[in-house]
Amino acid sequence: MTTQPKFILVINCGSSSLKFALIDPASKQQPLTGIAQCLNSDEANIVIKHNGEKHQDTLDAPFGHKEALANLINYLTQAQLIDVIAAIGHRVVHAGECYQLPTLIDNKVMAILEELCTLAPLHNPANIIGIEAARVAFEALPQVAVFDTAFHQTMPEKAYTYALPRNLYSEHGVRKYGFHGTSHYYVSRQAADYLNKNIDDTSVITAHLGNGCSITAIENGESRDTSMGFTPLAGVAMGTRCGDIDPGIIFHLLKNLNYSTEAVDKLLNKESGLLGISEISNDCRTLEEQALEQNNPQAKLALDVFCFSIAKAIAAMTTSLSKLDAVIFTGGIGENSSYVREEVIKQLSLLQLSLDDAANEKTIRGQAGNIASDNSPAVLVIPTDEEWVIASQTLALIKG
- Closest to ligand ADP by CB, 100 vs 296, is 296
Contact in structure between 341 and 371 (CB atoms under 8 Å): yes
Chain residues binding ligand ADP by CB under 6 A are: 210-212, 239, 283-285, 288, 331-333, 336-337
Could you list the active site residues? 148
Q: What is the DSSP string of 252-305?
A: HHHHTS---HHHHHHHHHHS-HHHHHHSS-S-HHHHHIIIIIS--HHHHHHHHH
Using CB atoms, what's the residue nearest to ligand ADP? 332
- Closest to ligand ADP by CB, 288 vs 387, is 288
Strand-pair partners of 271: none
Distance of alpha carbon 296 from its chain centroid, rounded? Answer: 30
Contact in structure between 135 and 143 (CB atoms under 8 Å): yes
- Taking CA atoms, 147 is separated from 52, 112, 160, 161, 197, in Å, by 30, 13, 17, 20, 27
- Closest to ligand ADP by CB, 84 vs 92, is 92
- Going by C-beta distance under 8 Å and a sequence separation of 6 or more, which residues neighbour residue 46? 34, 35, 36, 37, 56, 57, 58, 59, 68, 71, 72
Distance separating alpha carbons of residues 397 and 260, to the nearest angstrom: 45
Contact in structure between 105 and 143 (CB atoms under 8 Å): yes
- Closest to ligand ADP by CB, 76 vs 381, is 381
Distance separating alpha carbons of residues 309 and 316, to the nearest angstrom: 10
- Closest to ligand ADP by CB, 284 vs 389, is 284
